[in-house]
Amino acid sequence: MITTEARPFWQRKSLAEMTESEWESLCDGCGKCCYRKFISGRGRRERLYYTRIACDLLNLETGKCGDYCNRFKLIDDCTKLTQKNLAQFSWLPDTCAYRLLYEGKPLFDWHPLISHNPNSVKLAGVMIKNGIHERDVIDWFEYVID
More confident residue, 140 or 121: 121
**What's the whole-model pTM score?**
0.86
> In terms of residue numbers, what domain contains 63?
4-145
User: What pairs with residue 50 in β-bridges?
Assistant: 37, 145
Question: Is the pLDDT assigned to residue 3 strictly greater than 90?
Answer: no
Helix (H, G, I), strand (E, B) or coil at 21: helix
Question: Whole-angstrom Cα distance, residue 6 to residue 134?
Answer: 44
Query: How many domains does the chain contain in total?
Result: 1
**pLDDT tens-place string over residues 29-74:** 999 999 998 888 888 888 888 899 999 999 999 999 999 999 999 9
**pLDDT tens-place string over residues 65-122:** 999 999 999 999 998 898 888 888 888 999 999 999 999 999 999 999 999 999 999 9
Of 114, 121, 109, 126, the residue nearest 9 (C-alpha)? 114
Q: What is the pLDDT of residue 106?
A: 97
Question: Is the pLDDT assigned to residue 1 strictly greater than 60?
Answer: no
Which conformational region is residue 40 in: left (phi greater than 0), alpha (psi within -120 to 50 degrees), or beta? beta
